[in-house]
Amino acid sequence: MKNLILFVTFIGSLAFLTSCSKDDSIGSGNATLKISASIANISSSGQSSSRVSSSRTMNESLNFVSGYVWVSEIEFDGSLQNGPSINRRIERFSKIDFETGIATPSLDDIIIPTGTYSYVNLGVELRDEDAQPSIIMEGTYTHSNGNVIPIRFEFNSGEVFEAESSQQVEVTEDQTVLSRIVFDPHVWFSVVPTNMLDNANLTDGTIIISETKNESIFDLVADRLDVSTESTFE
């Protein structure tokens, strides 16, 4: 099973660099971890200045707005500063809607101790029980001739995503910690030449990219699922 390493950025009032004494690094209460997910918008997609112009054009032509990620397990690993290692695992099939960020059934009951964490790792395993995709993203592709075509990306595998950080993270008592996994398909598709999508096969008027349809495009994109995917904590 391939591990996809997700580099994490912590934002908002939850996570920040902190210095504290040994006495206040271990809290006496608990906090709750809630899992969500979303799709990065075009303006926030991580594109370096070295990207070729065709990749920038591809980003402008693609617009993914909806879909879901279907998980089977969430695991939290953290090390409290001057304290013990913490491990929490929840096994549950849950589908997280990209538009709303809502998980069904919910993933908002992972209890973690308060305190200052010197290490945090979040593992997410995708559902892989049958032929139903574990990730679906839907949107539009603007053809070079100006036509707007529906597009759908399907990924079906029990991959394990790992999000870790070396930052010190302070968690306070009774806090609800929102961890949002942000997928960036615009970066994934940046390696796909424009002519490949222009000439993609249509199924009932839609470009479907999966293991069985438009496979050459799928192979390019699937190899980049570990690129520019991050988790933000709020």
pLDDT per position as a tens digit, 134-190: 999 999 999 999 999 999 999 988 777 776 665 677 888 998 888 788 888 988 899
Residues 6+ apart with CB under 8 A from 215: none
Predicted confidence band at 22 (pLDDT cuts at 50, 70, 90)? Answer: very low
What pLDDT is recorded for position 33? 86
Decide: 65 and 138 in contact? Cβ < 8 Å: yes
pLDDT at 179: 79
pLDDT per residue as tens digits for the range 71-116: 999 888 888 887 889 899 999 999 999 999 999 999 999 998 988 8
Confidence of residue 49 (pLDDT cuts 50, 70, 90): very low
Of 147, 155, 97, 92, nearest to 125 by C-alpha is: 92
pLDDT of residue 47: 45
pLDDT digits (tens, 9 = 90+) for 118-138: 877 778 888 988 889 999 999
Asked if pLDDT for residue 223 goes beyond 90, the answer is: no
pLDDT at 194: 93
pLDDT of residue 54: 42
Q: What are the residues facing 56 on neighbouring strands? A: none
Q: Hey, what long-range contacts does 11-15 have (CB within 8 A, 24 or more apart)?
A: 11/232, 11/233, 11/234, 12/232, 12/233, 12/234, 13/234, 14/169, 14/170, 14/171, 14/175, 14/177, 14/178, 14/233, 14/234, 15/167, 15/169, 15/170, 15/233
Residue bearing tokens 């790992």: 162
Q: Is the pLDDT of residue 4 over 70?
A: no
Residue extents of the structural domains in the chain:
3-233
Find the farthest-apart pair of alpha carbons in the chain and give their distance in angstroms, rounded. 65
pLDDT, position 129: 84
Whether residue 183 contacts residue 40, with contact meaning beta carbons closer than 8 Å, is answered with yes
Question: HEC states along 138-207?
Answer: EEEEECCCCCEEEEEEEECCCCEEEEEECCCEEECCCCEEEEEEEECHHHHHHHCCHHHHHCCCEECCEE
Predicted local confidence at residue 13, as pLDDT: 35
Contact 42, 141 (CB under 8 A): no
Instruction: Note the pLDDT of residue 53.
Output: 42
Is 50 exceeded by the pLDDT of residue 206? yes
Residue 59 has pLDDT above 70, yes or no: no
Q: What per-residue confidence (pLDDT) applies to 58?
A: 55
